[in-house]
Amino acid sequence: MRNRVLVYTEALDVAAEGAVWYARLIGGGTFEALHVPVRGSDTGIHARWFDYTGGEPRLDVRPVGTDPAEAVLGAIERLRGGDDGSIVTVVLPEQFRKRSLFAAAQRAQFRLKLRLLVEPRVVVADVPAVTSARRPEGRVPERLVVRVLAGQLDDATRQAAAYAAALDVEDVRAVHFGDRDWDADALGLPVDDAPLEGKLGDSILAYVRRLTADEGSAVNVVLPERIHENLRFLRGRRALTIKRLLLFEPHVILSSVPYRA
């Protein structure tokens, strides 16, 4: 499984700083970057991006009036280059001034994420930051750990595990909460059996926070997301609950690996 990485950013801020760090890690040091000017976006991003990254990668700035979704879809097709076996990870930095699910749902990135979830062989990775700082702070984590949420052993979970295993990251494991009724060897990853402490969401949050208690670590939570095409777009309530739970959690990156049921 070949993974190609695209960062779509509206500004060079704290969230974008984290996104660049993450994209370089999972892309083996290389990725592409795209910016489409919209209302309120960073008008001087091109020069600041060059200063921050040293020009590598070059930021592809599209003309004013370009449709962001169409620009991202076009970049995805170019990255694939006719290779239908490749995966494209679209990294979306999202910076918030405060924790507000309502405000998050009004952002253009939210609509873009919905569009990309129905695109074959595309993984959407959220890199959020809750801060009022407008520029990168010069702080990124020292290490990344990847954890696949493995509830049931099905094709969606296997696909998410295969994606995680293909990332250029050393510490990759699956985690199951509660009593497990399937063989861990069948998944192809080491499996952590974590206690179910009340509700599933509380258990996931407790597990993740134990990992992020190390200030030098960031956690990439890989979420299998089942998409039912017969109803065009129907997502499981569990996936939505987990996304709302982790969206504003510090040092957590959430990757949605869609599986078409």
Read off the amino acid at residue 122: V
Question: pLDDT tens for residues 98-108?
Answer: 777 666 666 77
Contact 126, 166 (CB under 8 A): no
pLDDT at 12: 92
Tokens at 233, concatenated: 């777009």
> 138 in a domain, yes or no?
no
Shared domain check, 94 and 19: yes
Shared domain check, 90 and 164: no
> 136 in a domain, yes or no?
no
- Report how far residue 82's alpha carbon sits from residue 106's, in angstroms, rounded to the nearest whole number: 34
> 226 in a domain, yes or no?
yes
Shared domain check, 16 and 122: yes
* Rg value, the chain, Cα: 18
Helices of type H across 99-219? 101-105, 108-116, 155-166, 200-212
Contact 3, 166 (CB under 8 A): yes
> 240 in a domain, yes or no?
yes
> 38 in a domain, yes or no?
yes
Contact 43, 36 (CB under 8 A): no
pLDDT at 229: 60
> 137 in a domain, yes or no?
no
> 9 in a domain, yes or no?
yes
Shared domain check, 76 and 18: yes
| Digitized pLDDT (tens) for each residue of the chain, 261 residues in all | 789 999 999 899 999 999 999 999 999 889 999 999 987 777 889 999 999 999 899 999 999 889 999 999 999 999 988 776 789 999 999 988 877 766 666 677 788 888 898 888 999 999 998 887 878 888 899 999 999 999 999 999 999 999 999 998 999 999 999 999 999 899 999 999 999 988 999 999 999 999 999 989 999 999 998 887 654 444 456 777 888 889 889 999 999 999 887
pLDDT at 118: 85
- Report how far residue 168's alpha carbon sits from residue 54's, in angstroms, rounded to the nearest whole number: 22
Shared domain check, 122 and 95: yes
Tokens at 212, concatenated: 């992020």
Residue-wise DSSP of 223-235: EEEEE-GGGSS-B
Range of the domain at 179: 143-260
**Count of domains for the chain:** 2
pTM of the model: 0.92
Shared domain check, 106 and 57: yes
User: Is the sign of the CA dihedral 106, 111, 114, 116 positive or negative?
Assistant: negative
Shared domain check, 24 and 49: yes
> 199 in a domain, yes or no?
yes
Shared domain check, 107 and 81: yes
